[in-house]
Chains A and B, each alone.
Chain A
Amino acid sequence: MTSHAAVEPPPAFQFEDAAQQSNAATLGMWAFLASEVLFFGSLVVSLMICRLRWPQAFAEGAKELKWWLGAINTAVLLGSSYAMALAVEAAEKQIAKRVIRNLLITASLGIIFLAIKGTEYGLEYHDHLIPAINYSAVAPDGAERLPQVQLFMIFYFLLTLLHAFHMLIGLTGIGIIAIRARRPGYVERSKNMIDGLGLYWHFVDIVWVFLFPMLYLLRHP
């Protein structure tokens, strides 16, 4: 933190001082993320347990996915996380302009991620891979799919949709803060909020860091 801090804004009614408020905000976000770890985690563990039972089918399912799109997306999301880290750093130094710029980069990369994801869903629709919508037991090239490939695809869609939903929430938050950050003094007052948003965004990134190998890369039974 630099020395040219503005006048400390008054803390909320229930807090004694800004330090206590900031501490509470950080702890609150981390407690929420711990909860989220189990939210995503229980689904990932379910996936791995089903994989334990059907290694062949799940490897086959992984091969049906476009690993290169997943890899590009991972890079995009890592980049957006990097931009977010820069935004948080700028907020600590209270440089509003840099905060806004980095938040916009973060959001753009997030949107690119979702666009690629959408394209992928389109390709999967084309390959008749979407359970309950157009899943087919026969691949487009005529090869018969193992029955549990469908199970794999259920997990794939549940996990990626849930992840995309979290991205949307994050993007909304980034959008709101990026717009408000133009107001003078906002960045100084909202350090906690920007930091919390950053934590959330990085968490969503971490989730993807696990989803990518678990879904796309386990190509051998």
Chain B
Amino acid sequence: MSRSLLVIFATLLCLLALTVAAAFVDFDRYLPGHNWGLRIALSIAIAKALLIALYFMHLKRDSRVTVAFAVAGVLWLAIFTVLTVADYATRNHPPELNFKGEPRYLQASTR
């Protein structure tokens, strides 16, 4: 038990080193437009959080109800993030749709 905790701790430190190292690479220069820096940082953070939750917080041996509680908070945050970002990502992005033609009934009233 104690040994497995130590292994987790060591893994966490490795992941920390990895995320710091990744921060000094400008991924956008090589793979533009995909925000790889953010993706990698977030993925490593999620991995670390999972390790802490599953082993340090012994979620792995807790009941399913407890796991559901733990997931609920994250899920709700995801809901907020996805729907809010859906707004921001399409905000100043008027597509051709905006300019493509006009509704019929308006043409009738002006032409």
Main secondary structure of the interface of B (DSSP, over half): helix
Assess whether A89 is in contact with B5, with CB atoms less than 8 Å apart: yes
Residue of B nearest to A199 (CB): B57
Which A residues between 116 and 150 are near B, CB-CB below 8 angstroms?
none
For the complex, what is the distance from the CA of A82 to the CA of B8, rounded to whole Å?
9
- Taking a contact as CB atoms under 8 Å apart, the answer to whether A213 and B70 are in contact is no
In the complex, how many residue pairs between chain A and chain B have their CB atoms under 8 Å apart?
Answer: 126
Residues of B within 8 A of A23 (CB): 63
Q: Any chain A CB within 8 A of the CB of B106? A: no
**Interface presence of A221 (CB below 8 A):** yes
Q: B108 interface residue, CB < 8 Å from A?
A: no
Task: Assign chain B's interface to a size class.
Answer: 35 or more
Given contacts A82-B56, A89-B1, A217-B19, contact A209 B45 (CB under 8 A): yes
Q: A52-B89, A206-B49 are known contacts; what are 12 more A-B pairs with Cβ within 8 Å? A: A31-B69, A41-B73, A41-B81, A42-B77, A75-B13, A82-B9, A85-B5, A206-B48, A206-B52, A213-B44, A220-B28, A220-B37
Residues of chain B having any CB pair with chain A under 8 Å: 1-2, 5-6, 8-9, 12-13, 16, 19-20, 22-24, 26-29, 37-38, 41-42, 44-45, 48-49, 52-53, 55-58, 62-63, 65-66, 69-70, 72-74, 76-77, 80-81, 84-85, 88-89
